[in-house]
Amino acid sequence: MIDVQHLSRRYGMTTAVDDVSFTISDQAIIGLLGHNGAGKTTMMKMLSGYLEPSAGSIHIGGHNLDGDSAAVQRGLGYLPENLPIYPDMLVADYLDYAATLKGIGRGERPRALRRAIDATSLGDRLLDPIGKLSRGYRQRVGVAQAILGEPSLLILDEPTNGLDPAQTAQMRALIRDLARGATVILSTHIMQEVDALCERVLVLAGGRLVLDEHLTRLREDNTLILRAGTDAADLAGALGRLPQVLTVTADGGDGGDGGQCFTLALHPGTERDTAAGNIARCVLDSGARLYQLAPRLRDLDRVLRELTAPEGARHD
């Protein structure tokens, strides 16, 4: 559905986005991650047609964004980082204005407005001037204008930026809801945000795409955690002799059932399920009980820190 090829954007001597390619074919919530200055906003502005790429192409739903942008933008909703919201306008008037800008005809407008207002729970704020709303409600107004016309692609630039924990929880619930009918690309530099919402992450560092991975795979590394009974003489030795196992570290008992924990690092490229089968057989053959065998989960914050350099974009 979304096909991005060799996309770059320069601002003078600064390369904000550098030769980025990816495709998104399924309906999902995709996190666009990176430190400040990594190129997220530039990428989102290009995806939503607000900024021309210096090089590369974007196809959305089969349409080329360059040349067919009107068709693409009809099916797209965009929440910019800093929404140009007019403080003196009433919420209702602003949303009506946004619907006009989106080309939603008079006939369909009441239904479109009602849907966006219901989804964002703005019903009792419609007659408030936008400037008097709290940050959370202003953000909801931004989301409401983005979802007018039921777009199949939603691009949300830091949707929870500046929200308090309760507002953040509400916004996340809303995004999950919206994702039932649309692909959502959201940018953030907070890994917990990704953890709470996304199925897949694209990580930018200095404008380059340094990772494109599903979260389940990202969380797992090439290490298994084993908890087994201590009734075998040299279980660690037997495990260490398995061809898939690189190292075995005994981590001590768990204090509960007399079991012993082991961390088993596998050789690079090892098929983890095959290794797990062999490890389980080895434990049972040695006469010990097998209590638990599971992949070790990685700390996502650390993964992001390892992948990204904090400097931001390159200056040539």
Ligand X SMILES: Nc1ncnc2c1ncn2[C@@H]1O[C@H](COP(=O)(O)OP(=O)(O)OP(=O)(O)O)[C@@H](O)[C@H]1O
Q: Which tokens belong to 41?
A: 């906003």
Local structure of 274: helix, strand or coil: helix
The residues binding ligand X (CB under 6 A) are 11, 14, 16, 34, 36-42, 81, 189, 312-313
**Dihedral sign of CA atoms 275, 281, 285, 290 in order:** positive
Q: How far is the CB of 34 from ligand X (least distance, A)?
A: 5
CA atoms lying within 13 Å on the CB side of residue 235: 27
State how far the Cα of 19 lies from the Cα of 72, in Å rounded to an integer: 22
**Dihedral sign of CA atoms 63, 68, 69, 71 in order:** negative
Residue placing its CB nearer to ligand X in the complex, 13 or 166: 13
Local structure of 80: helix, strand or coil: coil
Residue placing its CB nearer to ligand X in the complex, 197 or 232: 197
Q: How far is the CB of 191 from ligand X (least distance, A)?
A: 14
Give me the helix-helix angle, 109-119 and 91-101, nearest 10°. 120
Q: How far is the CB of 299 from ligand X (least distance, A)?
A: 21
Select from 22, 24, 15 the least CA-distant residue to 55: 15
Residue placing its CB nearer to ligand X in the complex, 125 or 208: 208
Q: Decide if 151 contacts 103 (C-beta within 8 A).
A: no
Partners of residue 58 on adjacent β-strands? 4
The DSSP output letter for 315 is E
How many other C-beta atoms are found inside a 10 Å radius of the C-beta of residue 15? Answer: 21
State how far the Cα of 59 lies from the Cα of 2, in Å rounded to an integer: 6
Q: How far is the CB of 246 from ligand X (least distance, A)?
A: 37
Residue 276's alpha-carbon distances to 13, 128, 273, in angstroms, are: 51, 60, 5
State how far the Cα of 296 lies from the Cα of 107, in Å rounded to an integer: 55
Residue placing its CB nearer to ligand X in the complex, 37 or 149: 37
Q: How far is the CB of 145 from ligand X (least distance, A)?
A: 20
Residue placing its CB nearer to ligand X in the complex, 34 or 53: 34
Q: How far is the CB of 13 from ligand X (least distance, A)?
A: 9
Q: How far is the CB of 165 from ligand X (least distance, A)?
A: 20
Q: How far is the CB of 39 from ligand X (least distance, A)?
A: 5
Residue placing its CB nearer to ligand X in the complex, 20 or 38: 38
Residue placing its CB nearer to ligand X in the complex, 7 or 95: 7
Residue placing its CB nearer to ligand X in the complex, 41 or 139: 41
